[in-house]
Structure 1
Amino acid sequence: MSLSNVITFNSRKICVIVDDQKAVLSFPAEVVGSNEIAFLMKNCDELRLAIPWNTISKLGLNRFRFYGENFIPVDFKTNGVSAEERAWFVRNLVKGEISIDEIIYPGRIFVEEAKEGGVLERPGFGEAALDIARMLGFIPASVYSNLMTPSGEIATADYAMKFAEEHSLPVIKIKDLIFYRLKNEKLVERVVDATLPTKFYGVFKAVGYKTPIGEIIALVKGEVSEGETLVRIHSECLTGDVFHSLRCDCGDQLENALKIIDKAGKGVLIYMRGHEGRGIGL
């Protein structure tokens, strides 16, 4: 079953998500049941729950220490190990129906911070699982786990394809999911605009946009819809742009671009928010 068919027909089958090297099994956390959990427990390694950071904070899970890079191992206070108990815990956790006092730590369910922007922000398995749940109309949270071979090895993409065919499961490639979202979703939203008089570079029209990978500000001067137009794409660098750090020339590049646009009388500076100060680790 193709990605478009999975979305169109609201398939409630476990999905096999693959990249170039390995694969995972995934199912929306909001409606996961004992059958899906049992299938994952039989064919995969540990259970992971992919949810975005704002949900982790809302649920109060951010008070627990991360294990490794981005996992928080938790369980319900009864510490149940059956598929039914784990499915119940996962469903009610993502719905916000379990209080922090009812959670024990560490546990056997590995909560993973997945990027809220999904595969367009980071092309990982957690993000892909999150995207699929959201596209099916569920809470953006998914249970997933690494597919294993009968011999206990991490399954390859080739093994995953045969496994999916054997069990009649849909296969979704991360690269196809990225392409599908780019083709079918409105990714850039214009949210605000204002006149911006500057001290050294004249008057610009500032236009703010929201995207899955962060905020963008476009500074526009003159009539840019006609003829050739100067365009500078500048990644935010707090230390260089604001504090004039000597470790980079970002601030100089920004100032020179604005000077050139001002001298030309028209042009656009696209300012990409959310990048770090170069060479300083911020």
Structure 2
Amino acid sequence: MLVDNQYSSELVAIKNKLKKALIAFQEGQLILVGDDGLRENEADLVFHAKGATPQNVNFAIKYARGLLCVSLGHELADNLGFSTSPKLPGGVSHTNFTVSVDAKEGVTNGISAKDRAHTISLMANINSKMSDFISPGHVFPVRAMTGGLLARAGHTEALYELCQMTKLPYAAAMCEVLGDDGDAIDPHTLAHKENRKCVFHNLPFISTVDILWNKILLCENNESKFLKSEQFDCKEKSLKPISVFILQAGLEENITLPTMLSIYKKELSFDNIRLSITNSVYTWDNGISRESCSAEISLFSHENCLEIVPQSIKDFCDMSGKEGLKKTKSSVRRAVSLLRSIQFINKDFNLNDSHENKLSKLKFIVPEDFMFINAIISIQNS
């Protein structure tokens, strides 16, 4: 199998899995969200707060068995008046639990499936306010980090992303899936669901890694931006660019490299765009000179500048710790930086050509980058 086919097949599979999960999530049905099997090695049973029926809540507490929580966006949590719970000295959890709550009205003791369903659904009601809840209670809201999975690679943020993609209020319930022995079930076991007697067999499964890289690679980029630099100066006046743009990566800082786009001619063409990458000691380029290029994409890295992008998306980043995207492979950071540069050039310089022709004209330093980026843009345009 060719490398670009490998990228394409995996990205299409992720896109299709996510589409199935989003349809179910939007309809208030149950889905499973797991991590990559390294970070927390757990899967959560999930449903949107608008799908908080007594049946769904009862299924969660009966079969998933973990703690039933609700992922909330910061703004929604603020509007509801849910303050963050105090942390005792020595705590290592990065989970932003708020105070526990019950609905003030419409419940009995607060613990029944019916009562908890009512409390959870109330959180997604745009008319709800702090006075509609009491604390302590039997439902445990958790604040998702603003920025979603780019800010923190947890289940809480994965639900934030699902809400964003379905344009639903940022409120979704989650319950860890525990096995008969009381330990968390390996998400890969649930992902394959080979046991047809398993109660989770027919539920859509998606991983935090799938959601994250779908967002980065296949969704519209609203995070990284190229801003024109007015401070740039060039010692060689004959090679002074017309304009210079610097990548402001924002929350994509850990998946990109410092990047600069220099424009030398008013008419840009991909067949004479210079690519260069430097580690401050050596510089590699694609063979196009600065004197003859119409533009230059300059990347800066202190890591392995020429490594090849892994063929499997799960290998793009080691997410086993709390560092999140900080351990993204340098090859992936290089490729994403090139992708963002190409997207910016396409959008702001209106080059009239198909993406296949544009990319085939561009001379890449690492040939596999073409295969990777071509797969991404092809799926985006399909």
Partners in 1 of 2:171 and 2:186 — Cα distance? Answer: 25
Query: What does residue 215 of structure 2 align with?
Result: 181
Structure 2 segments unaligned to the other structure (5+ residues)? 1-15, 281-289, 301-382
Aligned length, in residue pairs: 245
Change over 3 Å in CA distance of 1:183–1:207 after alignment to 2: closer
> Residues 122-201 of structure 1: matches in 2 within 5 Å?
122-157=152-187, 159-160=189-190, 161=193, 162=195, 165-167=198-200, 168-188=202-222, 193=227, 196-197=230-231
Query: What does residue 91 of structure 1 align with?
Result: 121
Partners in 1 of 2:142 and 2:87 — Cα distance? Answer: 9
Identity of aligned residues (%): 17
TM-score of the aligned structures, taking structure 2 as reference length: 0.51
Q: Is the 8 A contact 1:59 1:96 kept in 2?
A: no
- Greater per-residue strand proportion: 1
Give 3-state SS (helix, strand or coil) of 2:114's partner. Answer: helix
Q: 2:29 aligns with which of 13, 27, 44?
A: 13
Q: Is the 8 A contact 2:49 2:173 kept in 1?
A: yes
- How far does the alpha carbon of each residue in 1:163-190 deviate from its partner, in whole angstroms, 9 at most, with x for none? 8953421111222223333343112467
**Deviation for aligned residue 1:143:** 0.4
Q: Is the 8 A contact 2:223 2:250 kept in 1?
A: yes
Give 3-state SS (helix, strand or coil) of 1:57's partner. Answer: helix
> Over aligned residue pairs, what C-alpha RMSD do you find?
4.1
- How far does the alpha carbon of each residue in 1:68-100 deviate from its partner, in whole angstroms, 9 at most, with x for none? 642113212365222222122122223343332
Q: Is the 8 A contact 2:224 2:252 kept in 1?
A: no
Letter of the structure 2 residue corresponding to residue 6 of structure 1? A
Change over 3 Å in CA distance of 1:175–1:192 after alignment to 2: closer
- Greater per-residue helix proportion: 2
Query: What does residue 98 of structure 2 align with?
Result: 72
Letter of the structure 1 residue corresponding to residue 199 of structure 2? E
Letter of the structure 2 residue corresponding to residue 88 of structure 1? H
- 1:59 matches 2:59: no
Query: What does residue 27 of structure 1 align with?
Result: 47
**Deviation for aligned residue 1:124:** 1.5
> Residues 193-212 of structure 1: matches in 2 within 5 Å?
193=227, 196-197=230-231, 205=244
**Deviation for aligned residue 1:114:** 1.7
Structure 1 segments unaligned to the other structure (5+ residues)? 234-252, 254-263, 271-282
Change over 3 Å in CA distance of 1:190–1:41 after alignment to 2: closer
Q: Is the 8 A contact 2:245 2:260 kept in 1?
A: yes
Change over 3 Å in CA distance of 1:63–1:182 after alignment to 2: closer
Change over 3 Å in CA distance of 1:97–1:57 after alignment to 2: same
Letter of the structure 1 residue corresponding to residue 144 of structure 2? A
Letter of the structure 2 residue corresponding to residue 40 of structure 1? A
Query: What does residue 137 of structure 2 align with?
Result: 107
